[in-house]
Chains A and B, each alone.
Chain A
Amino acid sequence: MARTGVIICHCGSNIASVVDVERVALAAGQMPGVTYAATNKYTCSISGQDMIKQAIAEHELDRLVIASCTPRMHETTFRKMLTKTSINPYMLEIANIREQCSWVHTDKEKATEKAIDLVHMAVAKVLKDQPLFTSSIPVHKKCLVVGGGIAGIQAALDVAEAGYEVTLVEREPSIGGKMVMLDKTFPTLDCSACISTPKMAEAGAHPNIRLMTSCEISAVTGYIGNFQVTIRQKPRYVNHDTCTGCGLCEEKCPTKVTNLFDQSLSKRKAIYKLFPQAVPAKPVIDSEHCTMLKSGKCGLCSKLCPLGCINFEDQEDFITETFGAIVLATGYDLIDWAKAYPEYGGGKYANVISGLQFERLVNASGPTEGHIQRPGDGAEPKTVVIVKCVGSRDPAKAKAYCSRACCMYAAKHAHQILEKIEGSKVYVFYIDVRTPGKGYEEFYDKTRADGAVYIRGRVSKIYEEGGKLICKGEDTLIGKQVAVEADMVVLETAMEPAHGSTETAATAGVSADKDGWLTEAHPKLRPVETQTAGVYLCGTAQGPKDIPDTVAQASAAAAKVLGLLAKDELETSPMISVVDAPKCSGCGFCEQVCPVKAISMVDVPSMYNGKRVTRTVAQVNSGLCSGCGACSAACRTGCIDLLGFTNKQILEEVDALWQE
């Protein structure tokens, strides 16, 4: 027989002035299964708690109902208190007679009636409570970072510096991402390579960091603290263990291929390093273009390599490892503007280029060694038009959102042109200039002082006539059509999530918004966490942003990872779903409604009509279950149930008032 204790709290006069607490206690004392009922002035106070502890000991209580304020206020307090008694902390129900009774009703008689009902419901429920025990899961103290751009590098370094092992996975043959393509960074005009390559080298050499380039993650199972990740190592055809990176192979390779790192502005070889400062500084073979791999002819590199590192038989490889935390830093791409903007020539004019192409043109290590030359004829452009918001803020053609960084790098581009080309003219077509950042507005001011002409209006058409690119716009500030005859046009195109990033994120159980940006757990309060515990995100994977914000977010994600890895074990809530396997039909309805993919269908040995058989039933991953109960509402039989809110408990609550 249950021995329930019921404590009715006065909460000073908060409850007692409206609810006749003594009458409630009296009524509670009459309820089935109640051994002890009393009131208390301030139940949450130390003395109030002492009084409960005493009553538990004295009356040998095995469960407790406290009628007081909302459980959202003191449920934890009272559970903690119960750990110091003989009662399991989960043998507790709270009747909310303050927020949902005394504070909202004025009729004392009726409020007292209602308080009795609420206590009755709580007693009915507590009678079906079972002791629950938190369990702990070990934390595998190792972090996986997906994406080797500046965000991934920063996060990896921060975690590694704190003493934990990190695996940094990058699908390209080198880490570095987009930042290493850039020439200078706004607003300080630091050389981008000068500040990013040391970070790359540091990451490459760090004893706690394992670099895995030309790799992608292909599967993730498990849960916070214990993710099993399968990593696909794409064939490189070069043995990086023995290769010294001497470069002979690359020098002699006869096959020339469009260099995508240089945004198609130059050529590279079929065996190549992504760029001179690549980390690791070792080449790979581009299987799409290598004539040996395509037609079995050539093999020059293999013949020349003094160490025999070339392996044309190289195959993809799968490596499975366990990680406690995952950081997604999958980055961005630029939209394919040519497809979206036929009115800008749709890519047919060589001298209409993207912002990233301009970065390569102006970059000292780029195809022109930093001389701004038109791709069409190599001439130095005297008049340059910069068009902002190409694909951004344009839901009809591309993206509805603002890409955030373009206003500033457009100003930077204008500044660089005016600085490098004497007597040049720069026209910047803009819709709004957005400069919310330290030193940003000042940089914009300076660019205008340099002589950049800002024209408020979106360009409608760009076409070539007489060797000039005619840009037609409106200066909306004077309300007149304007045209500029330019030598070169730079389109500051919208960012979009890196190709394949939503698929990669989905592998790790992270969802993306309608544009494909990965979704954070809460836009304000949990900006680097995701709905999947133990998976974090940073950088442009989450949305367009500039380098300072990216790096800040990477460090924030690292801090979250460190908070997790610092623990040896994680305590899990015991209020999770459990399956009554013998009754489960294996229909999978629960699996379909589970928001955190905590339920999987597994084959288990079972008895059926006296025979040993293998059946498929639902299984809950206690590390993933978030305790929402969607599964138990979906289950027709009721064989998956939520501990703490079981079907029986809720039915008892419903029935409580009507039992004689």
Chain B
Amino acid sequence: MARIDAENWEPKILAFCCNWCTYTGADLAGLNRMKYPDNIRIVRVPCSGRVNPQFILRGFQKGYDGVLVCGCHPGDCHYTSGNYFTRRRFLLMKRLLEYAGIETGRFQARWISGAEAAKFRDTVLKVTEEIRALGPNHRMKEADDHE
């Protein structure tokens, strides 16, 4: 894709959404013609428990400015327990990223059910603004200055 100069920079956000709740919630937002920023790119996964934390690192490495992981509310997992494992993994990963010097807020996780179209919209709005405020991801992106 074309490189965008700094002035016209728009954050690009990668979102992993579970098929049963958040992806459905995002569809519902569409069905209700809700409007939200176009900065988000959704990867559909069967369950938030499918999201390997290495996908997050890869997203940053490749140049996404923010990464979001979304799934069903704990207790509502289509597969019973997937999101409980998700929660543990990302509680840990979030802290590790911050410790590594990645700005707080670049990585986020949210529980959004299939009925929570408005929450999906609000989350995209909020996360986009937060990442816009952080500016482009320089710290973990593959850049030309790397050999």
B31 within 8 A of A: yes
CA distance A647 to B43 in the complex (A): 12
* Residues in B whose Cβ lies below 8 Å from that of A657: 1, 12, 41, 62-63
A463 within 8 A of B: no
Within 8 A of B (CB), among A384-440: none
Contacting residue for B38 out of A99, A110, A630, CB 8 A:
A110
Contacting residue for A658 out of B36, B44, B49, B62, CB 8 A:
B62
Is there an interface contact between A96 and B42, defined as CB atoms closer than 8 Å?
yes
Chain A residue at minimum C-beta to C-beta distance from B78:
A628
Chain B residue at minimum C-beta to C-beta distance from A106:
B35
Is there an interface contact between A117 and B1, defined as CB atoms closer than 8 Å?
yes
B51 within 8 A of A: yes
* Residues in A whose Cβ lies below 8 Å from that of B78: 628
The stretch of B79-87, B96-104, B127-135 that contacts the partner chain: B79-87
Within 8 A of A (CB), among B28-53: 29-31, 33-36, 38, 41-47, 49-53
Is there an interface contact between B30 and A100, defined as CB atoms closer than 8 Å?
yes
Given A99-B27, A100-B26, A104-B35: A633 and B46 within 8 A (CB)?
A: no
CA distance A640 to B46 in the complex (A): 16
CA distance A632 to B38 in the complex (A): 30
Is there an interface contact between A654 and B43, defined as CB atoms closer than 8 Å?
yes
* A contact residues, total (Cβ < 8 Å): 46
CA distance A118 to B42 in the complex (A): 8
* Residues in B whose Cβ lies below 8 Å from that of A630: 47, 49-50, 79, 81-82, 85
Is there an interface contact between A105 and B35, defined as CB atoms closer than 8 Å?
yes
CA distance A402 to B36 in the complex (A): 45
* Residues in A whose Cβ lies below 8 Å from that of B85: 593, 630, 633-634
Is there an interface contact between B30 and A98, defined as CB atoms closer than 8 Å?
yes
Is there an interface contact between B35 and A650, defined as CB atoms closer than 8 Å?
no
* Residues in B whose Cβ lies below 8 Å from that of A48: none
CA distance A354 to B71 in the complex (A): 48
Interface of B is mostly: mixed
Q: Digit string of A577-602 for contact with B (CB within 8 Å is 1, else 0)?
A: 00000000000000001011000000
CA distance A111 to B38 in the complex (A): 7
* B contact residues, total (Cβ < 8 Å): 43
B14 CB to closest chain A CB (Å) equals: 6
Is there an interface contact between B43 and A103, defined as CB atoms closer than 8 Å?
no
A379 within 8 A of B: no
CA distance A511 to B30 in the complex (A): 36
A114 within 8 A of B: yes
B9 within 8 A of A: no
Is there an interface contact between B46 and A655, defined as CB atoms closer than 8 Å?
no
Within 8 A of B (CB), among A636-660: 638, 642, 645, 647, 650-651, 653-655, 657-658
B136 within 8 A of A: no
Given A72-B23, A654-B58: A103 and B50 within 8 A (CB)?
A: no
CA distance A465 to B141 in the complex (A): 84
Is there an interface contact between A628 and B82, defined as CB atoms closer than 8 Å?
yes
Q: Digit string of B44-79 for contact with A (CB within 8 Å is 1, else 0)?
A: 111101111101001100111000000000000111
B18 CB to closest chain A CB (Å) equals: 9
B139 within 8 A of A: no
Is there an interface contact between A653 and B43, defined as CB atoms closer than 8 Å?
yes
Is there an interface contact between B50 and A642, defined as CB atoms closer than 8 Å?
yes
Chain A residue at minimum C-beta to C-beta distance from B43:
A653
Is there an interface contact between A651 and B58, defined as CB atoms closer than 8 Å?
yes
Within 8 A of B (CB), among A188-241: none
A70 within 8 A of B: yes
Within 8 A of B (CB), among A463-513: 511
A531 within 8 A of B: yes
* Residues in A whose Cβ lies below 8 Å from that of B82: 595, 628, 630
Given A98-B30, A658-B63: A531 and B80 within 8 A (CB)?
A: yes
A603 within 8 A of B: no
A629 within 8 A of B: yes
* Residues in A whose Cβ lies below 8 Å from that of B27: 70, 72, 96, 99-100
Within 8 A of B (CB), among A354-403: none
A113, A118, A632, A654: which has the most chain B beta carbons within 10 Å?
A: A654
Given A103-B31, A630-B85, A650-B55: A71 and B80 within 8 A (CB)?
A: no
Is there an interface contact between B29 and A104, defined as CB atoms closer than 8 Å?
yes
A121 within 8 A of B: yes
* Residues in A whose Cβ lies below 8 Å from that of B42: 96, 100
Given A72-B27, A103-B30, A655-B58: A629 and B35 within 8 A (CB)?
A: no
Given A595-B81, A626-B79: A654 and B46 within 8 A (CB)?
A: no
Closest 4 CB pairs of A and B: A99-B30, A629-B50, A103-B30, A630-B49
* Besides A104-B29, A114-B38, 14 new A-B residue pairs in contact (Cβ under 8 A), listed by A number: A99-B26, A99-B30, A100-B30, A101-B38, A105-B36, A511-B80, A575-B46, A595-B82, A627-B46, A629-B49, A630-B47, A630-B49, A654-B55, A657-B1
Measured CB to CB, the residues of B under 8 A from A are 1, 12, 14, 19, 23-24, 26-27, 29-31, 33-36, 38, 41-47, 49-53, 55, 58-59, 62-64, 77-82, 85, 89, 121
Identify 12 residue pairs between A and B in the complex whose beta-carbon atoms are under 8 Å apart, listed by A's number. A99-B27, A99-B29, A104-B30, A114-B38, A121-B41, A595-B79, A595-B81, A626-B79, A630-B79, A645-B50, A651-B58, A657-B41
